[in-house]
Amino acid sequence: MIIVDNSESSRNGDYTTTRWQSQVDAVSIIHSAKMRANAQSAVGLMSMGGKGPEVLSTFTGEFGAILAGLHRTKISGTSHLSSTIQVAALALKHRMEKSQRQRIIVFSCSPIEEDEKTLVKLAKKMKKNNVSIDVVAFGDLESDQTKKLEAFVENVKSGDGSHLAIIPPGPHLLSDQLQVTPILAGEDADVGGGGEGEAGGFGFDDAAENDPELAFALRLSMEDEKNRQEKEKREREEHEGKTQLGNIPEEGHGESSGDKDKKDEDKMDTA
């Protein structure tokens, strides 16, 4: 079960393009990695913002259902980490295929309201029920929040089954950074026994072969992002060009040097 953070904090643009959009891209990467590791896997989707936990997609192997859930998600409210994890665990308990391992992947980019004691208690409960939990922490990574998540993962961990990935803001893509963490690197290493060099990311050729629908969705997403960046670049260049032209004093037109000096002073005052 993947849990996304759709709280108000996910509007922040300190990740390409926003915290929310970076999660959307990362979810597609996770889904592909899980399906490549085991074609019988099933992935569900939940959100923990708004007024409380919401199941966006029941367990499925079809990425289209996951994508539809992401598209209808609204950004609002604060995160409800503890209650959402409990609902996710309940959904896993009632999964159709009991032989599948229970795993929750949580994206967290907002302040955590629960105290450390509450999270540790929840972690021990999840460990007792054989639920592995990976946490992807990004956003304003204050020491208090990081400490809570570290304590949670440390207490839910059984063997090498749970991980905490802390990804600070920057120009990089969240999905790219996620692929080199143990959360996803291990998935590719498990595919078909795995050879050396397989633990990295995947390209469109791999996605097209294993999941044409996912490849199409990823291609559209990347094209949309490329178009958006090009549009922003054009608008920025046009704005800079107009600003430069506006600072060039005009000559002639019967103006006296005093008039031109006065206009130059006016322009400098409003710049």
Question: SS3 for 98?
Answer: coil
Report the C-alpha gap between 39 and 61 in whole angstroms.
8
Nearest of 58, 55, 62 to residue 39 by alpha carbon: 62
Residue 131 CA to residue 103 CA, distance in Å, equals 6
Q: Taking CA 12 as the corner, what is the angle to CA 80 and CA 218, rounded to the nearest 5 degrees?
A: 90
Total-model pTM: 0.70
pLDDT tens by residue, the chain, 271 residues: 999 999 999 999 999 889 999 999 999 999 999 999 998 899 999 999 999 999 999 999 999 999 999 999 999 999 999 999 999 999 999 888 888 899 999 999 999 999 999 999 999 999 999 999 999 999 988 889 999 999 999 999 987 789 999 999 988 899 999 999 999 875 543 322 222 233 333 344 444 444 555 555 555 555 655 565 577 678 877 877 766 665 555 445 444 445 544 444 444 333 3
Q: Which residues contact 63 (CB under 8 A, 6 or more apart)?
A: 28, 31, 32, 211, 213, 214, 217
Domains of the chain: 2-202 (3.40.50.410), 226-270 (no CATH)
